[in-house]
Each structure stands twice: as C-alpha cells, then as structure tokens.
C-alpha cells in the first residue's frame, strides 16, 4: 500500500509531468468508480500537486481569460492499496484509469490519469486535508515530534509500538514497510509497549555545550525512533522512481528491494498484529505479542508478501463450514481484531475496510443441520444402537 514516500513521489511526478502542459475541457470519471463526480470544466487550466503524509492534493488552476471564469479547484486523494498517477496518450488510456484530465492540445492529446486497479482509492473535491491527521513525518518533522511527545498519555500508546506507528493521528505517513524498517534499525521488539519506547525520548536532550555541527553529527550517528520516522521515508524519496510496488516497473522496484533490510526479507520473522497486519522483525517479538501466536520465518525461495499484507484493514479469514456435526455450535467468540471497525485514524482512514458477511447466517444454518441430524439419529431410549 502506498505510504508517505509514495505520495510524495507521486506529487513530484505530477508536477514534473504536467510542467508546461495546458489542460482543457471537463474532468472525466470512469462509470465504474464510486467516487464523486468532479464539478470542474475550463477551456485552459494547469495542474499542480502537493503531498502531506498519506494524502495528495491536486490543484486545477484556470488560466487568465479561460472560459468559463471560475476559481481554482482542489482535490484530495488517498491512494488506497494501488492508486497512482500516469500520463498517457488520450487514445491509449491505461486500464483502471478512473479519473482523467485531458490536455487542451490535440497534437498529441494526453491525459493525466488516476489509476487504481483495486478501486480502494478515494478523492474528495474541496481540497481540505483530513483534520484529524497529525503533522507529516516527511515535511513537518518538528511539529510531528512535538505532537507525539505531548500526547503520550493517549491510550494509543498503551498498544505495541508496531501498532501505534500506524496511528495516523500521530504518525501521518508511516505504513507497514516503514514501521518494520524503523524498528529493525533500532532493534526495538515490535510488540514492546509504545509508551515505554517513547517516554525516554522526553528526557533526551543533547548537551548545550555541544556545537551545532556536533549536535547534527550526534543525531546522525545515534538517531532515535522519531528521527528515523523522518529520515527513513526520506531515503525512499531519494531513491527516486515511484517507491514501493512491483507494478511500478522492474527497475523502480529493484532499487527499492535493494534498499529494504527487514520488510519481507529472507531470514526475518513475521506475526500478525491485533489489526491483522503483518509485522516483519528479527529476534524477540516483545512482551505484548499475541498469546499463542506462531511466527513464521521468511525463506529465501518465498515470494513477495501477499497483497493482503499491504492492506490497512485486511478482512478476517473466513473458514468453510466444517462437515463435522455440531461444530458450528462451537464457533469462537469474535476477537477485537476480527470485529468490523468503522474508519478511524487509529488505522489509515484511506485504507479499505472489508466487513465480514454471513457469519450469523452460517452459524444459524449449522444449528439447523445439527438439530436435523439429531432428529434422524436413533437414541438409546428408542432402542437404537449408540456409536462407539
């Protein structure tokens, strides 16, 4: 799933690809998309982009003397699992291009497309950043750090550090692969309590006797967790390309894979956290690891993580009904991790939420089948023979 660096790289791509281009006409939405229509039409306008955390803002700015006369329009995008922008010939649009901005020139006519294979991405006319998201880890580091340390009493920090790192109220831009890489570099067990890890940073102050260059050198040599939440995403941006995702092209992905140290790498272990997300790590998982959970180790011949690992809200596994009589009556209680949740910033609000359906109907059907079997089976009281 695209994280902060991917959104930042996408905004850079839009600005570079659209530099010097003049767009015109109406914005076109694919008929299969459930996103809103974009109420914008102009004979001549330009497109620019900026990113903040896991959101990207696209601004459509009419040129002077463009018709009809109107104000600029901003759209905020959340990429879901597979969102991206592509510039393509208007006569050869890429598959799954769900929102299209056409150039005014016809020689040749181009289209800036929001491409989203799985259609979990969203766009919102109006251009307002989601208000409950915290400062961006990439572009607003000082505000981000202050926001985390000021709110350590929040119940979000009662949870394991690997889960707290996905809370976009405090770590806007951090996602699954980034949390694994950050914790691995500091050798922090992913299921250590978040408050325990972060409280020590409140007292961390460099000596005032150090010069500015000495302070910078000390931070670079011994970064803390919050500093890595800023510098590790910057490393991905500096790789160029489009960041995470094999669908972006072998060359782009090869550079990213070479950069990874922990996420889905051979020799690393993995566990599912309380929200069903896979966390990769090395060594002891920590005291808050799910009880009874068995972690698996990545082998060199294994392939990349399954697409479900990239989801902010993967659906709970649905098992086929058992053929053993009576087993449906013994269905376990749903855990907190399995219960469908409303969109919230404790997880990424732009991520897909899949509600599990049919559970109650399955249990009811199983009970009916069990009662029918009992009615058809001879009892000892009626002279039947009991099975041994």
Q: Active site residue: 3, 6, 55, 181, which one?
A: 3
Find the distance separating the first CA and the last CA of the chain, reported in whole Å. Answer: 54
Phi, psi (rounded to 5 degrees) for 15: -65, -40
Is residue 357 flagged as an active site residue? Answer: no
Looking at the DSSP bridge assignments, the partners of residue 190 are: none
Give the helix ranges, DSSP H, for 129-211.
Answer: 141-150, 161-164, 176-186, 194-202
Is residue 297 flagged as an active site residue? Answer: no
Is residue 3 flagged as an active site residue? Answer: yes
Q: Active site residue: 6, 29, 41, 54, which one?
A: 54
Q: Active site residue: 2, 135, 189, 352, which one?
A: 2
Peptide bond into 137 cis (omega under 30): no
For 161, the 3-state DSSP assignment is: helix
Match 């010069």 to its residue by tokens: 211
DSSP secondary structure letter of residue 89: E
Name the packing angle between helices 225-239 and 176-186 (round to 10°): 120
The closest of 205, 179, 206, 204 to 194, measured between CA atoms, is: 179
CB within 8 A of 132, min separation 6: which ones?
Answer: 168, 169, 345
Give the helix ranges, DSSP H, for 64-175.
Answer: 141-150, 161-164
List, by residue number, the catalytic residues: 2-3, 54
């Amino acid at each position: 799933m695209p994280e902060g660096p991917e959104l930042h790289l996408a905004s850079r791509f839009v600005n570079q690809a659209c530099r010097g281009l003049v767009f015109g006409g109406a914005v076109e939405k694919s008929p299969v998309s459930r996103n809103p229509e974009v109420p914008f039409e102009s004979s001549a306008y330009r497109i620019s982009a900026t990113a903040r955390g896991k959101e990207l803002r696209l601004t459509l700015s009419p040129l002077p003397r463009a018709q009809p006369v109107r104000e600029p329009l901003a759209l905020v995008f959340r990429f879901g699992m597979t969102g991206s922008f592509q510039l393509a010939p208007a006569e050869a649009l890429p598959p799954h291009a769900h929102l299209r901005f056409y150039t005014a020139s016809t020689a040749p006519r181009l289209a800036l497309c929001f491409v989203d294979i799985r259609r979990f991405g969203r766009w919102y006319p109006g251009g307002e950043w989601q208000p409950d998201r915290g400062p961006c880890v990439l572009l607003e580091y000082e505000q981000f750090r202050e926001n985390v340390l000021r709110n350590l009493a929040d119940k979000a920090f009662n949870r394991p550090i690997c889960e707290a790192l996905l809370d976009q109220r405090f770590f806007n831009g951090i996602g699954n692969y980034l949390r694994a890489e950050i914790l691995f570099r500091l050798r922090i067990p992913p299921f250590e309590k978040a408050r325990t890890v972060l409280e020590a940073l409140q007292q961390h102050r460099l000596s005032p006797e150090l010069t500015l260059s000495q302070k910078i050198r000390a931070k670079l040599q011994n970064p803390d967790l919050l500093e890595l939440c800023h510098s590790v995403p910057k490393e991905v941006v500096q790789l160029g390309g489009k960041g995470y995702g094999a669908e972006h092209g072998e060359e782009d992905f090869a550079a990213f894979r070479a950069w990874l140290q922990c996420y889905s790498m051979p020799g690393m272990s993995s566990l599912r956290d309380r929200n069903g997300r896979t966390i990769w790590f090395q060594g002891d998982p920590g005291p808050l690891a799910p009880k009874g959970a068995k972690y698996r180790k990545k082998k060199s011949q294994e392939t990349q993580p399954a697409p479900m690992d990239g989801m902010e809200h993967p659906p709970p596994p649905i098992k086929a009904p058992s053929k053993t009589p009576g087993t449906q009556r013994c269905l376990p209680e749903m855990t907190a991790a399995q219960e469908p949740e409303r969109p919230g910033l404790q997880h990424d609000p732009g991520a897909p939420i899949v509600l599990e359906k049919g559970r109650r109907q399955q249990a009811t059907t199983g009970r009916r089948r069990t009662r029918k079997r009992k009615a058809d089976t001879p009892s000892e009281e009626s002279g039947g023979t009991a099975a041994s």
